[in-house]
């Protein structure tokens, strides 16, 4: 079924046609009709399968088609709750894009940015408010936001919100929302805690699960290669230099690691930028825009951004460090192979990270394909590197830092 056959307002159809949206993806095909009918939906779908549009399209229609009130200040009709600044900004852009020919007014509020401009937007009146739980809770507590008119609540990436400790904020917000509302619950992963949260919020939901047996999008070729911690920068350098026109997203564990990788690439004559929680929101947005537009081709990121980077045409995702949480692997690699395009994801696994790899494979219930490197090729990669000549003192310093990080991870694991 094509979008032009859907019972949605002409203003949304016109925009979908302009941007080449002809047929819905699986998650859109299964979710949109139920959302249009006003039903609660619990949807589990892989990253990159079009789940944002799956709730944006019908939400725009329902507000535009059934608007029975003027836009009122600080009383949104729809709330979209998300875990990160980047995801709030990204979803806001999708609403603006797909709602270009509608009268629907949207705004995004999130921490890390001054709140006066956000309050000013609320006072002017909004229909759809995209928000991180903390800032939403703060502005409501300060009296700048009224939730009594909310007809639709959308939780996107709820598992990440739980992981970031937003559960109490979410519960407090729920108490202030009308009991009679539509609730849409979207996530790429699900476990017992997520099920418990979901079923406490939704009433007899329509459950939709896309490709549950393999959480990684079928458009992604992903594999792991075994590289020792101190050699990873040489292999990253090689991949980048062998793919000079490709857009490459590199994930590391900490902001310190991110800056160190940027410097290592700089020594190799490679321009790259980093994005992590230690940077101001304005700088993070600017760096993301440059990567999105292709002005910079190599971006080093921490997991604070894994859920918010919806960048077209990311050719490679490199897991420079393995994530501490198995599910995060899916969200990382899901930054490539989006929509109908294919993508590649390569994981560098050091000896001390093998337990993390095993946790990922256990969680996915399948092995990650091993990309074999011959000893000769391994040594050649190190020999040809432009950063291989930096001082022994620098190398020892990096090894010491890596060992310290490994020790801290082991301590955390013991505490758990």
Give pLDDT, residue 197.
74
CB 88 within 8 Å of CB 110 = yes
**String of b and e for 68-95 (b: at least 16 CB within 10 Å)?**
eeeeeebbbbbbbbbbbbbbbbbbbbbb
Distance between CA atoms of 378 and 101, rounded to whole angstroms? 55
> Going from the N-terminus, what domains does the chain have, and what CATH number goes with each?
3-209 (3.40.50.300), 220-415 (3.40.50.300)
Q: Find the range with the poorest average confidence among 30-44, 146-160, 402-416.
A: 402-416
Q: How many CB atoms lie within 10 A of CB 191?
A: 12
Write out pLDDT tens, residues 85-141: 888 988 999 999 999 999 999 999 998 788 999 999 999 999 999 999 889 989 998
Of 270, 239, 254, give the one whose Cα is nearest residue 347: 239
In this model, does residue 362 exceed pLDDT 80?
A: yes
- Residue 67 DSSP code: -
Q: Coil, strand, or helix at residue 216?
A: coil
pLDDT for residue 412: 65
| Residue 85 confidence (pLDDT) | 85
pTM, two decimals, is: 0.71
Segment 224-260, tens digit of pLDDT = 999 999 999 999 999 999 999 999 999 999 989 999 9
Can you tell me whether residue 328 is helix, strand or coil?
Answer: helix
pLDDT given for residue 159 in this prediction: 75
The proportion of the chain whose per-residue pLDDT surpasses 90, expressed as a percent, equals 50
DSSP element (H, E) containing 108: strand 106-109
* Residue of 328, 265, 268 lying closest to 300 (CA atoms): 265
> Is residue 198 exposed (0-12), middle (13-18) or buried (19+ Cβ within 10 Å)?
buried
Tens of pLDDT, residue by residue over 313-353, are 899 999 999 999 888 898 888 888 876 788 999 999 999 99
| Rounded Cα distance, 314 and 48, in Å | 11
Per-residue pLDDT at 37 exceeds 90: yes
Angle at CA 23, nearest 5°, toward 20 and 29? 135
pLDDT band at 392 (very low <50, low <70, confident <90, very high): very low
Closest Cα to residue 58, out of 87, 73, 78? 78
Contact 345, 336 (CB under 8 A): yes
Q: How many CB atoms lie within 10 A of CB 202?
A: 20
């Amino acid at each position: 079924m094509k979008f032009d056959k859907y019972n949605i307002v002409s203003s949304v159809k016109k925009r979908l046609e302009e941007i080449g949206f002809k047929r819905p993806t699986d998650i859109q095909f299964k979710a949109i009709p139920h959302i249009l009918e006003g039903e609660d939906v619990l949807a589990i779908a892989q990253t990159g399968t079009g789940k944002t549009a799956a709730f944006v399209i019908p939400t725009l229609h329902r507000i535009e088609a059934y608007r029975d009130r003027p836009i009122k200040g600080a009383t949104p009709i729809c709330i979209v709750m998300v875990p990160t600044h980047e995801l709030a900004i990204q979803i806001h852009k999708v609403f603006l894009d797909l709602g270009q020919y509608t009268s629907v007014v949207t705004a995004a509020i999130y921490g890390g940015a001054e709140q006066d401009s956000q309050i000013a937007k609320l006072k002017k009146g909004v229909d759809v408010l995209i928000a991180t739980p903390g800032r939403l809770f703060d502005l409501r507590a300060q009296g700048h936001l009224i939730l009594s008119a909310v007809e639709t609540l959308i939780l996107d990436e709820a598992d990440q919100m739980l992981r970031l400790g937003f559960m109490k904020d979410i519960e407090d917000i729920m108490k202030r929302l009308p009991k009679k509302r539509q609730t849409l619950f979207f996530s790429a992963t699900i476990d017992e805690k997520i099920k418990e949260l979901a079923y406490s919020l939704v009433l007899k939901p329509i459950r939709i699960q896309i490709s549950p047996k393999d959480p990684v999008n079928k458009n992604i070729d992903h594999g792991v290669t075994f590289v020792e911690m101190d050699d990873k920068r040489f292999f990253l350098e090689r991949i980048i230099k062998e793919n000079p026109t490709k857009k490459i997203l590199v994930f590391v564990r900490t902001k310190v690691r991110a800056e160190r990788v940027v410097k290592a690439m700089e020594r190799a004559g490679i321009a790259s930028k980093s994005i992590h929680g230690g940077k101001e929101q304005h700088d993070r947005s600017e760096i993301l825009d440059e990567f999105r537009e292709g002005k910079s081709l190599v971006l080093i990121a921490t997991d604070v951004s894994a859920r918010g980077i919806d960048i077209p045409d990311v050719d490679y995702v490199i897991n420079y460090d393995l994530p501490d949480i198995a599910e995060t692997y899916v969200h990382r690699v899901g930054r490539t192979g989006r929509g109908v395009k294919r993508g590649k994801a390569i994981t560098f696994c050091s000896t001390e990270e093998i337990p993390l790899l095993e946790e990922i494979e256990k969680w996915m219930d399948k092995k990650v394909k091993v990309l074999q490197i011959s000893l000769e090729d391994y040594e050649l990669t190190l020999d040809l590197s432009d950063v291989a000549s930096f001082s022994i003192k620098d190398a020892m310093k990096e090894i010491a830092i890596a060992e310290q990080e490994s020790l801290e991870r082991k301590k955390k694991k013991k505490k758990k």
